[in-house]
Amino acid sequence: MEKLKQIFNAPLLMVLLFGAAFVSCGDDDDGVAPTSPTGNEKSYNLAEVNDSDISGTATFTELDDNTTSIVIELNGTPDGGSHPAHIHVNSAVETGDIAISLEPVDGSTGISTTIVSSTDAGADISYNELLNFDGYINVHLSENDLSVVAQGDIGVNELTGTSKAYDLGERAVAGISGTVTFEERVSGEALATISLDNTPDGGEHPAHIHMNTAAEGGDIAFSFNAVDGTTGMSMTNVAALDGGGSFGYDDVLAYDGYVNVHLSASELGTIVAQGDIGVNELTGESKTYTLFEKDSPGISGTAKFEERVNGEALATLSLEGTPDGGEHPAHIHMNTAAEGGDIAFTFNAVDGTTGMSMSNVAELDGGGAFGYDDVLAYDGYINVHLSASELGVIVAQGDIGVNELTGESKTYTLFEKDAPGISGTAKFEERVNGEALATLSLEGTPDGGEHPAHIHMNTAAEGGDIAFTFTSVDGTTGMSVTNVAKLDDDSAFGYDDVLAYDGYINVHLSSDMLGTIVAQGDIGENELTGTAVEYALAEFGGSGVSGVAIFEERVNGEALATLSLTGTPIDGSHPAHIHANSAAETGPIVFTFNNVDGETGKSFTNLAALDDETSFGYSDVLDYDGYINIHLSDGDLTVVAQGDIGSNAP
């Protein structure tokens, strides 16, 4: 009686495990000891299947007699039901024969307990062997209806919790996209789950892993179970390639491949979803370059390079304005677009209808590794051509890599000079490598003309030798583009050097008429800041000559002095000076201007030092105790115009 009390007071599990042993002993104790748990236990999840709302766990407990207690505990089973349960061979997605029959689950309690020592075939099986078993558990609706209501992989098929998901982007059928998720098993194999949105009800969509990247294409390496269009789902065990050879979870992550999901078995050419996997997966790092319109107005776009896990890149060219049905060859060329250069890498041609091209970037056409990091460091540019037969027509173009523009730029004005109506700008744009793209843009140049252009040393007022030669300005477009990397003498000369340079730009009428300057402007440290002071130059001695002296501040603190007079004779040349003291006091010459041209009434002089080489810049002018005299000629220093400046100005 005491033994029965102990039974009824024991936990449920102990009752289930040892009830039979106690009963068999009864009052005639034959000395057989009851079995006890060793302390080793493993639980597996049993997931709901077929919308049954039934789920739970299967707990394997090792007993000290080398048997195993398997307790199934389910939620949601109907009262009074009886649910057959079995361990099957293989994984649940593969399916397989029954290996071990378990006690049916009692619907009222949701519990089933089975002591397992052997398979249905009679082979002994221990707790450790069950934990290493290639199998799964099915729980069925009833003896008469073997629909599965709960299911779970066990043993080596258990999922470790480690997984990797890859995106499957839409392709030929709008709106169909999703993911493929690989979950690691204890065995090292994997459970692959494809999950797509918007697949048509009733459809069946073959799916495969292919060799190479999606941009390259490749043969089928592994076949998934087809995706069910109604659910959008497919589940497949991943253990070996179609042609043989081990292929598990770690192999997937290291594989050079991609996934295609097809419209149907009869329409394999129509890809509804696609994504790179393994080493071809995109890391999320990317770089986009602008492709500007060139010879075909309205066509422009971008070149996007996306880094892969293996260091290679997916290159996507995306253009707007390409004609339907066209096919546009595209390449990476050496050097900058302004310089031109040979083809280094060939993209897949751009489809005119979609404006798209996708290429894998792994090596240059001539051999040699060329991946994502190489693109970002490359001295190159992209050309997209009109067609294979019209490669000379560039429809879109853009610098890449170290030639990319940083967004920093400096624009200088080019004023009209000897050819009225011609003026414009010189724009210098910084490159990633510190060099610069120089764009000269002029208005009023004659069609068909070609205008040499240079950077000269010193200020325009002083004049100086040629230091840098631009690509000539096209008279028809008024444009010139040049890469700025070094001076004509091969010394380094980049963007920062331009901004600090003591120089000016001349654009000439033609190579035969270099003496005729059509546009001119100071650059670098000689640029004008916009700050200026103006002094009146009054007529003197009834000469009829008067005007102004304008001093404009330069970036370097020096000044451009412009004398602008009216009433000067056309053939005259008028010396001009700054004198010490006020005009009323008079004083010696301290600074000599360039002579005033009688025809234009103009004189331009750089102001940096007095005649005695004492420093004398813009700020010095403002405080100077001085005055200006304009003389009749070099041979006759009669004063024709005069005005106080600096501290003497009225």
Look at residue 151 and tell me whether its pLDDT is greater than 70: yes
Look at residue 619 and tell me whether its pLDDT is greater than 80: yes
Any idea of the CA torsion for 206, 207, 208, 213, to the nearest 10 degrees?
A: 130
Distance, CA of 434 to CA of 393 (rounded, Å): 30
Residues pairing with 394 in the sheet: 385
Look at residue 123 and tell me whether its pLDDT is greater than 60: yes
Can you tell me the mean pLDDT for 324-349? Answer: 97
Look at residue 515 and tell me whether its pLDDT is greater than 70: yes
Q: Is 14 helix (H, G, I), strand (E, B) or coil?
A: helix
Look at residue 613 and tell me whether its pLDDT is greater than 60: yes
Distance, CA of 494 to CA of 106 (rounded, Å): 84
Residues pairing with 565 in the sheet: 547
For residue 473, what is the enclosing H or E element? strand 473-474
Show the DSSP H helices in 193-281 as ranges.
Answer: 249-253
Under a CB-based contact definition with an 8 Å cutoff, are residues 302 and 202 in contact?
no
Under a CB-based contact definition with an 8 Å cutoff, are residues 72 and 86 in contact?
no
How confident is residue 34, by pLDDT bands cut at 50, 70 and 90?
A: confident
Q: Is 17 helix (H, G, I), strand (E, B) or coil?
A: helix
Can you tell me the mean pLDDT for 603-617? Answer: 98
Mean of per-residue pLDDT scores for the chain: 94
- Evaluated on CA atoms 129, 131, 136, 137, the torsion sign reads positive
Q: CB under 8 Å, gap of 24 or more: what pairs does 545-548 form?
A: 545/574, 545/630, 545/640, 545/641, 546/641, 547/601, 547/641
Distance, CA of 426 to CA of 203 (rounded, Å): 62
Phi, psi (rounded to 5 degrees) for 445: -75, 145
Rounded to 10 deg, the angle between the 12-25 and 2-9 helix axes is 160
Look at residue 33 and tell me whether its pLDDT is greater than 90: no
Query: Residue 630 has which token pair?
Result: 């304009």
Q: Is 141 helix (H, G, I), strand (E, B) or coil?
A: coil
Query: Residue 540 has which token pair?
Result: 């003197």
**33 DSSP assignment:** P
Query: Residue 249 has which token pair?
Result: 């979870």
Nearest by Cα to 454 from 511, 500, 416: 511
Look at residue 2 and tell me whether its pLDDT is greater than 90: no
pLDDT in tens, 394-405: 999 999 999 999
Distance, CA of 598 to CA of 603 (rounded, Å): 9
Other beta carbons within 10 angstroms of residue 433's beta carbon come to 17
pLDDT in tens, 516-574: 999 999 999 999 999 999 999 999 999 999 999 999 999 999 999 999 999 999 999 99
State the pLDDT at residue 8.
30
pLDDT in tens, 53-96: 999 999 999 999 999 999 999 999 999 999 999 999 999 999 99
Q: Is 345 helix (H, G, I), strand (E, B) or coil?
A: strand
Question: What residues contact residue 382 under an 8 Å CB cut-off, 6+ apart?
Answer: 289, 291, 303, 317, 330, 331, 332, 333, 396, 397, 398, 400
Chain-centre distance of CA 555, in angstroms?
38
- Matching residue, tokens 């071990």: 100
Percent of the chain exceeding pLDDT 70 equals: 95
Question: What residues contact residue 328 under an 8 Å CB cut-off, 6+ apart?
Answer: 319, 322, 349, 350, 352, 357, 384, 385, 386, 387, 395
Question: What domains can you pick out in the chain, each with its CATH number?
Answer: 35-155 (2.60.40.200), 159-278 (2.60.40.200), 285-401 (2.60.40.200), 405-524 (2.60.40.200), 528-646 (2.60.40.200)
State the pLDDT at residue 32.
53
Phi, psi (rounded to 5 degrees) for 362: -135, -35
Question: Rg of the chain's alpha carbons, rounded to an integer?
Answer: 44
Under a CB-based contact definition with an 8 Å cutoff, are residues 91 and 191 in contact?
yes
Look at residue 207 and tell me whether its pLDDT is greater than 80: yes
Phi, psi (rounded to 5 degrees) for 497: -65, -40
Show the DSSP H helices in 85-147 as ranges.
Answer: 127-131
State the pLDDT at residue 259.
98
Distance, CA of 85 to CA of 99 (rounded, Å): 11
Query: Residue 341 has which token pair?
Result: 């250069």
Nearest by Cα to 600 from 632, 570, 630: 570
Buried/exposed code over 581-613 (b: 16+ C-beta within 10 A; e: otherwise): ebbeeeeeebbebbbbbbeebebbbbbbebeee
Q: What does 267-317 look like in DSSP terms, one character per residue? A: EEEEEEEEEEEETTSEEEEEEEEEEEE-SSTT-EEEEEEEEETTS-EEEEE
pLDDT in tens, 281-328: 999 999 999 999 999 899 999 999 999 999 999 999 999 999 999 999
Under a CB-based contact definition with an 8 Å cutoff, are residues 347 and 331 in contact?
yes
Nearest by Cα to 149 from 96, 236, 228, 76: 76
Look at residue 5 and tell me whether its pLDDT is greater than 60: no
State the pLDDT at residue 629.
98
Under a CB-based contact definition with an 8 Å cutoff, are residues 284 and 325 in contact?
no
Distance, CA of 259 to CA of 275 (rounded, Å): 5
Terminal-residue alpha carbon distance, the chain: 130
